[in-house]
């Protein structure tokens, strides 16, 4: 590795754009004039002391103070991201970083950059793909606000571990390192504070080899940008959206099963209240449960189809088997048959109703079943069209044929 000279406060000439240092440390910056200069100096001192060829990239997110001038005068390369957002800043910064390894940290003085060699050692010597700091290993969380320290962060970490079968102790630590290949694998897209959470989720989903390093959080310099309850809700919302099995598939399946179970009990006369057979009102609730359950299940299949075709479910045996047998024409035909069955039931009932001079129907539960089948049949056809479009995969010359996914061993499969 090439040794970088220790930097002073004098302006430093930027390296040529064609150079590729070992590591790029990327700092998002929004009005951090109190700490940015010291952070850049500390990073360059670590580079010099450990013979690390590295660069510091500061992504300015629209600072109105002297942050940009200070960062440049201390030797950092500054890029500008006019679109506000923590994620936007990192996406821009990583795009312009030239290092083979990427380190992310905050520019507010809270992180000890002397840990950078530890992060790099885990990546280069120990074979890890994704290395994250943990403020909860070794008691480094004293400077976290009480609400976040005892409730917010631990609760979100436990929820994430439960949903994605990960083992993080501090899912919101802002100091992390990964190779460029790992970054391209996790493909973060979030523009706001959830960006950090998305990195952890995607690292777990994509099967990266993950390590946590104990770090201690320092006192913050300047004003915090966090908004506790808003950011906490957005984090929870994101975890739910990234876990379609728990948010869509299982609730949808159970609700749909309950709805059709009610329909069956009504049609076969198995459900009584106070000695009287259940009425049409119960049929309405059966229709609601069946239709809402089917729509929720359909949304889950759509989410899994997107994940299977473009993200991290390439070894998911269940979804791979579904797409190995899924054909748009079959789905449209099946939806058409279900719709026809429902409309036939309704047509027969309308005929009986007219013949009876519009008197109340003797078996109104059939009307709710016919309506349910008609609605679900039509919805299934539109859902099949969307799933078919989502399952179209981008061209990849090295990708195995679809049938190869079915040969993945059960031990290697993941089902999130």
Q: What is the pLDDT along the chain (416 residues), one digit of tens a residue?
A: 433 434 444 444 444 455 789 999 999 999 999 999 999 999 999 999 999 999 999 999 999 999 999 999 999 999 999 999 999 999 999 999 999 999 999 999 999 999 999 999 999 999 999 999 998 886 655 555 555 455 667 888 888 898 888 999 998 888 999 999 999 988 888 888 889 888 998 998 888 999 999 998 887 775 665 555 666 677 777 777 677 777 788 889 999 999 999 999 999 888 887 777 777 789 999 999 999 999 998 888 877 776 655 555 555 666 667 767 778 898 899 999 999 999 999 999 999 999 888 888 888 889 999 999 999 999 999 988 887 876 655 444 444 444 444 333 333 333 44
Contact call for residues 356 and 362 (beta carbons, < 8 A): no
Rounded to 10°, the helix 228-241/153-164 angle is 0
**Taking Cα atoms as reference points, which of 219, 206, 225, 212 lies closest to residue 176?**
212
Model pLDDT, residue 128: 97
> Rounded to an integer, what distance in angstroms lies between the CA atom of residue 167 and that of residue 158?
9
Residue 160's nearest CA partner among 387, 358, 368, 416 is 416
SS3 for 101-117 is EEEECCCCCCCCHHHHH
Distance CA 21, CA 262 (A): 65
- Residue 131's beta-bridge partner residues? 177, 211
> 26 near 104, Cβ under 8 Å?
yes
How do strand 54-60 and strand 77-80 relate by DSSP bridges?
A: parallel
State the pLDDT at residue 361.
Answer: 82
Distance CA 362, CA 343 (A): 19
- What is the C-alpha to C-alpha distance for residues 24 and 77, in angstroms, rounded to an integer? 10
What residue ranges define each of the domains in the chain, with the CATH number in brackets?
23-241 (3.90.550.10), 244-407 (no CATH)
User: Which pLDDT value is given to residue 293?
Assistant: 94
d(C-alpha 202, C-alpha 189), whole Å:
11
Predicted confidence at residue 312, as pLDDT, reads: 53
């Amino acid at each position: 590795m090439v040794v970088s000279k220790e930097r002073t406060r004098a302006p430093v000439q930027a390296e040529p754009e064609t150079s590729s240092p070992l590591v790029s440390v990327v700092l998002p910056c929004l009005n951090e004039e109190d700490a940015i200069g010291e952070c850049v100096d500390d990073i360059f001192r670590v580079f010099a002391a450990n013979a690390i060829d590295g660069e510091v990239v500061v992504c300015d997110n629209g600072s109105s103070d002297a942050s940009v001038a200070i960062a440049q005068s201390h030797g950092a390369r500054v890029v500008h991201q006019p679109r506000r957002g923590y994620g936007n800043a990192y996406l821009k910064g990583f795009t312009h970083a030239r290092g083979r390894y990427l380190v992310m940290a905050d520019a507010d003085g809270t992180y000890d950059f002397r840990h950078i060699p530890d992060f790099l050692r885990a990546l280069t010597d120990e074979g890890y793909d994704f290395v994250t700091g943990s403020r909860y290993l070794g008691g480094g969380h004293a400077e976290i606000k009480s609400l976040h320290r005892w409730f917010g962060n631990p609760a979100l970490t436990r929820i994430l571990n439960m949903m994605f079968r990960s083992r993080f102790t501090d899912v919101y630590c802002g100091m992390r390192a990964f190779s460029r290949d790992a970054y391209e694998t996790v493909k973060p897209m979030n523009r706001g504070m959830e960006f950090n959470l998305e990195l952890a989720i995607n690292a777990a989903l994509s099967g990266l080899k993950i390590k946590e390093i104990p770090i201690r959080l320092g006192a913050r310099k300047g004003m915090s940008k966090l908004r506790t309850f808003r950011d906490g809700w957005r984090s929870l919302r994101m975890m739910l959206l990234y876990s379609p099995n728990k948010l869509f598939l299982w609730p949808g399946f159970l609700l749909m099963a309950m709805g059709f179970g009610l329909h069956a009990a009504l049609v076969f006369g198995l459900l009584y209240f106070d000695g009287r057979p259940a009425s049409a009102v119960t049929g309405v609730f059966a229709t609601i449960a069946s239709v809402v359950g089917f729509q929720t299940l359909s949304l889950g299949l759509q989410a899994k189809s997107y994940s299977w075709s473009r993200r991290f479910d390439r070894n998911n045996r269940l979804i791979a088997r579904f797409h190995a047998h899924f054909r748009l024409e079959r789905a449209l035909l099946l939806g058409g048959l279900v719709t026809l069955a429902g409309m036939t039931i309704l047509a027969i009932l309308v005929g009986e109703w007219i013949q009876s001079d519009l008197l109340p129907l003797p078996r109104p539960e059939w009307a709710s079943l016919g309506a349910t089948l008609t609605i679900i049949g039509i919805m299934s056809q539109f859902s099949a069209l969307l799933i078919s479009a989502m399952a179209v995969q981008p061209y990849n010359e090295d990708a195995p044929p679809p049938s190869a996914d079915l040969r993945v061993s059960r031990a290697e499969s993941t089902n999130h």
